[in-house]
Structure 1
Amino acid sequence: MLKYMAKRLVSAIPVMLIVGIIAFALAHMSGGDPARVIAGDGATDAQVEALRQQMGLNASLPDQLWSWFVDLLHGNLGYSYILNEPVTPTILSHVFPTLSVAVFGELLSLAVAIPLGVLAADKQGRFADKAVLAFATLTTSLPSFLAGLLLMIIFVLQAKLLPASGFIYPADSFGGYILHLVLPGISVATLQIAIISRMTRSSMIDALDSDYIRTAKAKGMSRPIQLWRHAFKNSSISVLTVVGQSFGELIAGAIVVETVFNVPGIGQLVVNSILRRDYQMIQGIMIFVAMVFIVVNLITDILYAVIDPRIRERSF
C-alpha cells in the first residue's frame, strides 16, 4: 500500500505545477500595484520602488514564478507583505473553521442522503421514491448561500433557536462549537444530499436487480439484510466515488457560506486577500485547496481498495 500511495503522490506533482502556474497567472492578472497598496497613497515614488524591490516585483514574471516554486518545494508558500506575516501559518489559522463546516456538512449529508437513497430504491416508482427525487431536485436548485439565508430567517429570526453568526472553538465551548456549525453545515449539505441520494438510489436499483439479491430472497433473508448487508455494500463504491469527487464542491460551498454566517475561515481570507491584492496569499490559498483535493482523492482511492478486495489485488 505504501508503494501505491507513493505512486499517487508522485502523479500529483504535475497537477501541483499546473495549479501553481495558473494561480500565479491569475494573481498577476488581477491588476493594480500591490507595492502601491501597501505603501499607501501618501508614499513617494522612491518609497514604492524600494518596496517593489523588497517584494521582488521588479524581477521578470518567469523569475518571480521560479522563485515562488523554489520556495514552494521547501514548504514555504510565501510572505504576505499586506499582513506582514508568512502565508502558511496564516492559512493554517483559518483552516479549522472551514474544515469544521465542511466535515459537519459531509457527515450530515451522508446521514440523510444514504437512507433516503436506499429508501427510494426499495420503493422504486412509489410515493416514497417520487418524494425523495422531488426533495433532491429542490435541494439541487437551492444555492448554499440562499439556503443559509432561509435557515437564518427560520431558526434565528423566527424561532430564535440557533446563533446567527460567528464561530466558537471547541476548546472554549464544545456545545457552542456544535451550535455554531448547525446552520452553516446544513447550508453546505443541501447540494450534497441531492447528489449522494441520487447516486445511492441509482446504484441500489442496479444492485437489487442482481442475482445475489434474488438468492438472498430465496434463502428467506429479511429485507433490511438484503438492502444493507448485500445491496448497499456492493453499491458503496459508486457512492464513495461521488462523495470523494464532490467533497471539493463542499469545501467551495463552505467558503461561500462563511460570508453569510461570518465564519473566520478560508473564505473570509480569500475575499480579504482579493480586495487587498495580496498576490502571495491568493497563490498560497489556491495551492492549499489543490492539495486538499489531492489528499481527498488519495484517501478515496485507498478506501476503494479497503472496500473491494478485487481493487486491492490489482493495485497493490
Structure 2
Amino acid sequence: MLRYLGKRLLSAIPVLIVVGVVAFLLSHMSGGDPARVIAGNDATDAQVEAIRQQMGLNQSVPEQLWSWFMNLLHGDLGYSYVLGEGVTPTILSHVFPTLSVAVLGELISLIVAIPLGVLASDKHGRAADRAVLAFATLTTSLPSFLAGLLLMIVFVLNMKLLPASGFVYPSDDIGGYFSHLILPALSVATLQIAIIIRMTRSSMIDSLGSDYIRTAEAKGLTRARQLWVHAFKNSSISILTIVGQSFGELIAGAIVVETVFNVPGIGQLVSNSILRRDYQMVQGILIFVALVFIVVNLITDVLYAVIDPRIRERSF
C-alpha cells in the first residue's frame, strides 16, 4: 500500500510543475504593474521601484520563476505584499467556506442522483426512465450561477425560508451554518446530479444484463437485493470514477457560486486577487487547487482497491 501511494505521489510532481509554470506565466502576462497598484497613484517612481525590488519584480521572469519554485519546495507559497501577509495562511483562512459548499453539494448529489439512476436503470425504456433522463437533461443545461439565482428567487424572495447571502461558521451558530449553506450547495449540485445519474444508469443497465443477475433472479432474490447488493456493487467503480473526476468541477462551481451568495471562500479571494494584481496570491491559489485535485484522485484510486480486490492485487 505504501509503495503504491508513493508512486502516486511521485507521479503528481510533474503535474504540480506544469501547473506552477502555467500559473506563473499567466499571472505575469496579465499586464499592469502590481508595484504601482500597491504604492498607489500618488507614489513617486523611486517608491514604486523600491516596492518592485522588495517583491523581486526587478529580476527577469526566469529568475522570478526559479525563486518561486525554490520557495515552493520548502512549502512556502509566497508573501502577498498587497495584503501584507503570507499566501498560505490567507488561503487556509478561506478554504473552509469553499469546502463546506463543495462537500455538502457532493452529498446532495449522491443522495439525489444514485437512487434516481438506479430507478432509471430498473425502469429502462419506461416512463420513469424517460422522466429521470429529462430531469438530468434539465440540470445539465442549468449553470450553477443561474441555478443559484433561481433558488434565491424561490426560497428567499418568495418563500422567505433561507438567507440570501453570507456565511456563518459552525462554531458561532450551527443552525445558521447549514441554513446559509443549503442554497449554494444545491446550486453547485445541479450539474453533478446530472452526471452521476447518467453514469449510474448506464453502469446499472450493463450490470442488470449480466449472467449473475439472471442467476440471482432464478434463485428468487428480491428485486431490491438484485439492484442494490449485486448490480450496484459491480457498478460502484464506474460511479466512483465519475464522482472523483467531477469533484474538481464541483469545487470550481463552488467558486463561481460564492460570488452569487457572497460566501467568503476561495472564489472571492481569487477574484479580488486578480483585480488587485496580487500575483503571489493567484499563483498560490492555483497550486492549492491543483493539490486538491491530486488528493481527490489519490483517494479515488485507493477506494478502487478497497472496493475491488482484483484492482488491489494488480496495484499492490
* TM-score range relative to shorter protein: over 0.9
Matches within 5 A, 1:107-126: 107-126=107-126
Show the 5 A alignment for 1:184-223. 184-223=184-223
Gaps of 5+ in 1: none
Does 1:54 pair with 2:78? no
The 1-side partners of 2:39 and 2:67 are apart by 23
- Secondary structure of residue in 2 paired with 1:263: coil
Describe the superposition over 1:202-241 as per-residue Cα deviations: whole angstroms up to 9, x where unpaired.
0000000000000000000000000000000000000000
- TM-score, normalised to structure 2's length? 1.00
Q: Within 2, Cα distance between the matches of 1:222 and 1:175?
A: 41
Structure 1 residue 7: deviation in Å? 0.5
- Structure 2: tracts of 5 or more residues without a match: none
Q: What does 1:54-203 correspond to in 2, within 5 Å?
A: 54-203=54-203
For 1:26, give the aligned amino acid.
L
Q: CA deviation at 1:55?
A: 0.6
Please identify runs of 4+ aligned residues in structure 1 that moved more than 4 A. Answer: none
2:292 counterpart residue number: 292
Per-residue CA deviations over 1:240-288 (Å, capped at 9, x if unaligned) read: 0000000000000000000000000000001100000000000000000
Question: In structure 2, how many angstroms separate the alpha carbons of the residues matched to 1:312 and 1:99?
Answer: 30
Aligned-residue offset at 1:2: 1.0
Q: Using the alignment, how far apart are the partners of 2:45 and 2:172 within structure 1?
A: 48
Q: Which residue of 1 aligns with 2:2?
A: 2
Secondary structure class of the residue paired with 2:51 = helix
What is the distance in 1 between the residues matched to 2:126 and 2:75? 55
Q: Any idea what SS the aligned residue of 1:76 has?
A: coil
**What SS class does the counterpart of residue 69 from structure 1 fall into?**
helix
Distance of 1:2 and 1:110 partners within structure 2: 30
Structure 1 SS opposite 2:129: helix
SS in 1 for 2:103: helix
Post-superposition Cα deviations, 1:113-148, rounded to whole Å, max 9, x if no partner, equal 000000000000111000000000000000000000
Letter in 1 for 2:224: P
Give RMSD over aligned pairs: 0.4
Q: TM-score, normalised by structure 1?
A: 1.00
Partner of 1:271: 271
Give, as a single letter, the amino acid of the residue that structure 1 aligns with 2:161: L
Q: Is 1:282 aligned with 2:254? A: no
Distance of 1:199 and 1:217 partners within structure 2 = 24
Per-residue deviation at 1:175?
A: 1.0
Secondary structure (helix, strand or coil) at the match of 1:99 reads helix
Tell me how far apart the structure 2 counterparts of residues 177 and 2 of structure 1 sit (CA, whole Å): 38
Amino acid at match of 2:278: D
Residue type at the aligned position of 1:204: M
Q: Which amino acid aligns with 1:144?
A: S
Q: Which amino acid aligns with 1:251?
A: I
For residue 227 of structure 1, what is the aligned residue in structure 2?
Answer: 227
Mapped to 2, the partners of 1:176 and 1:302 lie a distance apart of 35
Query: Identical aligned pairs, as a percentage?
Result: 82
TM-superposition CA deviations, 1:169-211 (whole Å, max 9, x none):
1111111111111000000000000000000000000000000
Once the 2 structures are TM-superposed, how far is the Cα of residue 35 of structure 1 from its aligned partner?
0.4
Query: What is the CA–CA distance in structure 2 between the aligned matches of 1:175 and 1:283, rounded to whole Å?
Result: 35
Counterpart AA for 1:36: R
Q: Residues 40-68 of structure 1: CA distance to partner in whole angstroms, max 9, x if unpaired?
A: 00100011111101110000100000000
Q: Give the total of aligned pairs.
A: 316
Residue in structure 2 matched with residue 37 of structure 1 by the alignment:
37
**2: distance between equivalents of 1:156 and 1:49?**
50
Aligned to 1:23: 23
